[in-house]
Structure 1
Amino acid sequence: PGSEELRPEAEAACPVARRRSTPGRKRWQELLALALAGQVGARGVWLGPPLNLFAYSQISSLVRRAALTQNDNHCNYEKTHNFKVHTFRGPHWCEYCANFMWGLIAQGVRCSGLKSEGLYRVSGFTEHIEDVKMAFDRDGEKADISAHIYPDINIITGALKLYFRDLPIPVITYDTYAKFIDAAKISNPDERLEAVHEVLMLLPPAHYETLRYLMIHLKKVTLNEKENFMNAENLGIVFGPTLMRPPEESTLATLNDMRYQKLIVQILIENEDVLF
């Protein structure tokens, strides 16, 4: 609705910004109502029956676009990114412009590196992760995992998590598992930290050094929390079950221990400089 007009000050603040004449509240509410009925598409074209698979995305995107048109500063982002061209598999919905990204390859860009949102939480495609695993099995240290081969950082993080999950003996060994869980249950923070340090000393040298190196890296991830939204607690949720598993296969024990697994990894990350 309305004609498009590019304003110089808006273009300076955000090169891709286009100011549209702001529709009244009644207008975008009508659009939302039509979307709920599956009757609106690009430029108001009748689409027939709703596409259930994307209905929620369409509705949320319309609301988002309506809110953005009423916010003059929506292009003033504080986050810095390292964007790289990315090929999305299957129809990918853009939450900003409320349209599909068309094309077979290189449909859009994604942030790559420590500032990637949801780093280690977001999963890469399984077949690509398996490719990385096979590359290491085949080529060892010569495996090429550079950005031009695997532009999606989530593939590399997924391969790392898979490596830890597949270890026959976890990084936090079966022998020390119960001691770590007991340490996590201590209520006094100082006593708990001391107990964790004592159990760390029981790990075999290779396990200790691997854990130390990983915690140094994860601490760097948390330093970019404002961009990637991954603090020590969130990383603990991801890496707790990955780094430590109970000696006996017990679903109930695993569920009961999950919060303590998370807490142990969180403590290791937050106190990396003290514990190691």
Structure 2
Amino acid sequence: MNNQTFIEGNSSAGAGSPISPGRPVWNPNLYQLQQKAPRPKPVVCKRYIPSCPPYYGSEFHGVLSHQEAAAIVTEEGEYLVRQSGGVQEFYTLTFRFGDKLKHYKLYYDGQHFVKEKHFDTVYDLVADGLVTLYFDEHAAPFLEVMDKFNCYEKSPYMTLNKLKLKKVLRNSCRKSDALFSTTGFIENEKDHSEKTALITKAVSSEIDTEEQVEYDKPHSFKVHTFKGLNWCEFCGNFLWGFIAQGVKCEDCGFSAHSKCSEKVPCDCCPDLKQLRGVFGIDLTTLVKAHRTTRPFVVDKCIGEIERRGLDSEGLYRVSGFAEEIETLKMALDKDGDQADMSPEVYDNINVIAGTLKLYLRLLPIPLITFETHPALIAAAQKKSQRDQLAGIKDALTLLPLAHYNTLKFLMEHLYRVVQQQGTNKMTSHNLSTVFAPTLMPAPDLSKCGGLPGMTYEISVLETMITSQQAIFS
């Protein structure tokens, strides 16, 4: 979010303007407050200091007492670095804020810091400190209103997304004009209304189709240092300070104050540009980014296997060539669902099967999550098959929806593999033995004294395959 967005959001355009939501989006109060904060002014030492550390400049005054520093630092914003005398020598940052002189122990580890924030220069450290102190004194009324803001529907994020949606519709209308003109569509009042209806339907279907499932996904917020001027996409207030001003979602780029991020619902819509390929990416993050029900890797690999490999002996048990699997992995990371896995490129179906297993193995959160794992094991230990099936169905409700849909699709596929066991020699037990370590890794191997037995995991998967219609109905 840059200052240009701020200007557009607060433009004087009317409610019908394409660049204005009809009301101010960004609140400038905190920005204006930061502009009023005192600026750092280094007090230059006019004498030569032979013991000056290389990471300090002319603001270093050597050994100086509190009283001597107070006599030098007289104006607000002025600062210097001095060395304490005595048994324990250390460096002190002294600066004036208002009518008070502030003293802080100053540290250096490649960057300058007083507390947790690290800065490239002492000037930046003082600038951030002055803003923080100024906000502590003057920002309370604004922060109180900001803390009470709890209406996500009225946030700049939602407002701007609505504007983007309208822009998509307008652009689609423009593109469609050329389409209808080349197809000989007669432009009269009736045809125009029909065309508009078709366009609206097409755009809507891109955004909300029956095939698409909306998954809840929490944001992956990390403390972030924003360059330039930035505003919180939740409350619309300025992200003040010079470093670590707030947090940013690593998946979708949502920017917010740390406190505001706690109020944001689980509606992260990952940006494909934010993702580093396909493998090793959280499953829900990937499907949200691609707007699909399941990871396209799973659909693509299973589709290819069912077209030409269901009768392949040892399917999923026989390993493909590691180099070819790595090549296909790189192609999927780079080209996405456009990657070519046809028999002309990969004639060995075990390479496709191996790539699917690799994708599932590299998931940061297993397809059958650690939270679901114990409940499935408990279900497998029940005495009657009826109780086992009921227990498995209950346990699977703990899965995130994207995981559940993917597991359902995979079990349906493995059931079809088993139907060909006369030729591929892969029974439900064989397949469960192959997939158990990938789909149901132990939650904590350190507590198991090494690699645990997979008896119950194999049993659960075998039941899921053979009874997939009853379990996933």
What TM-score, normalized to structure 2? 0.34
Q: Which residue of 2 aligns with 1:210?
A: 406
Bigger helix fraction: 1
Contact 1:181–1:257, Cα closer than 8 Å, also in 2: no
Matches within 5 A, 1:45-194: 113-194=309-390
Any gaps of 5 or more consecutive residues in structure 2? 1-307
Which residue identity is paired with 2:463?
I
How far apart are the structure 1 equivalents of 2:363 and 2:375?
20
Contact 2:325–2:351, Cα closer than 8 Å, also in 1: yes
Which residue identity is paired with 1:196?
I
Q: Percent identity?
A: 46
Q: Which residue of 2 aligns with 1:274?
A: 470
Distance 1:161 1:251, change over 3 A: farther
Q: How many corresponding residue pairs? A: 165
Distance 1:114 1:173, change over 3 A: same
Contact 1:240–1:258, Cα closer than 8 Å, also in 2: yes
Q: Which residue of 2 aligns with 1:56?
A: none
Instruction: Tell which deviates more after alignment, 239-248 or 219-228.
Output: 239-248
Deviation of the 1:253 alpha carbon: 6.2
Which residue identity is paired with 2:387?
E
- Give the match's secondary structure for 1:145: coil
Contact 2:445–2:451, Cα closer than 8 Å, also in 1: no
Distance 1:224 1:251, change over 3 A: farther
Which residue identity is paired with 1:123?
S
Distance 1:119 1:232, change over 3 A: same
Q: Name the Cα RMSD after superposition.
A: 1.4
Contact 1:129–1:155, Cα closer than 8 Å, also in 2: yes
Contact 2:442–2:452, Cα closer than 8 Å, also in 1: no
Instruction: Tell which deviates more after alignment, 224-233 or 239-248.
Output: 239-248
How far apart are the structure 2 equivalents of 1:193 and 1:199?
10
Picking from 225, 229, 232, the partner of 2:421 is 225
Query: How big is each residue's C-alpha offset from its partner over 1:62-102, in whole Å with a ceiling of 9 and x where there is no partner?
Result: xxxxxxxxxxxxxxxxxxxxxxxxxxxxxxxxxxxxxxxxx
Query: How big is each residue's C-alpha offset from its partner over 1:5-25, in whole Å with a ceiling of 9 and x where there is no partner?
Result: xxxxxxxxxxxxxxxxxxxxx
Contact 2:377–2:456, Cα closer than 8 Å, also in 1: yes
How far apart are the structure 2 equivalents of 1:126 and 1:240?
21
Distance 1:228 1:253, change over 3 A: farther
- 2:391 paired with 1:199: no
Query: How big is each residue's C-alpha offset from its partner over 1:30-70, in whole Å with a ceiling of 9 and x where there is no partner?
Result: xxxxxxxxxxxxxxxxxxxxxxxxxxxxxxxxxxxxxxxxx
- Give the match's secondary structure for 2:316: coil
How far apart are the structure 2 equivalents of 1:253 and 1:219?
34
Q: Which residue of 1 aligns with 2:232?
A: none
Contact 2:445–2:452, Cα closer than 8 Å, also in 1: no
Which residue identity is paired with 1:270?
T
Deviation of the 1:264 alpha carbon: 1.1
Q: Which residue of 2 aligns with 1:88?
A: none
Structure with bigger RCO (C-alpha 8 Å, 6+ apart)? 1
Deviation of the 1:221 alpha carbon: 0.3
How far apart are the structure 1 equivalents of 2:447 and 2:336?
35
- 2:446 paired with 1:250: yes
How far apart are the structure 1 equivalents of 2:310 and 2:427?
12
Q: Which residue of 1 aligns with 2:93?
A: none
- Give the match's secondary structure for 2:454: helix
Deviation of the 1:249 alpha carbon: 2.6
How far apart are the structure 2 equivalents of 1:246 and 1:253?
11
Distance 1:208 1:222, change over 3 A: same
How far apart are the structure 2 equivalents of 1:181 and 1:256?
13
Any gaps of 5 or more consecutive residues in structure 1? 1-111
Deviation of the 1:261 alpha carbon: 1.1
Which residue identity is paired with 1:138?
K
What TM-score, normalized to structure 1? 0.58
How far apart are the structure 2 equivalents of 1:149 and 1:264?
36
How far apart are the structure 2 equivalents of 1:253 and 1:137?
36
